[in-house]
Amino acid sequence: MTLKQLLDYSKSKDGAEYEYKEAWQADVVKVKGKMFAFAGKDKNGNNIITLKNDPTANLELRAAFSDFVTAGYYSNKKHWNSWCYDKETLKFELLKEQIDISYELVHG
């Protein structure tokens, strides 16, 4: 999947606002002024999207998808996961589901 696909899906959420943060070199999608998705690169240059989730679910996802997901990069590691989205075997549907969860948690 591509960054464009992920951003287009994130931006399609009701009330979503997009901005590019030059200082972070990252794409940010917010709702109600609060970030629910941001995409950039980790320290190794991997393409990542960071999304919010329940702390228990985050631990389970990290264990189940250890090839793709780590504790949130540049964020609270308890509440955020970073997904290396350009891995060929990672399913777009899974990331759409994670974007939905992140949006709902922030949107309230």
pLDDT score, position 87: 84
Q: Which residues contact 68 (CB under 8 A, 6 or more apart)?
A: 83, 84, 85, 87, 90
Domains and CATH numbers, the chain: 3-43+54-107 (3.90.1150.30)
Question: pLDDT digits over 4-32, tens only?
Answer: 999 999 999 999 999 999 999 999 999 99
pLDDT score, position 88: 82
Q: Which residues of the chain have pLDDT under 70?
A: none
Radius of gyration of the chain (CA): 12
pLDDT score, position 32: 96
Q: What is the pTM of this model?
A: 0.95
pLDDT score, position 41: 95
And the tokens for 108?
A: 């309230």
pLDDT score, position 28: 98
* 3-class SS letters over 43-56: CCCCEEEEEECCHH
Q: Which 8-state DSSP code applies to residue 75?
A: S
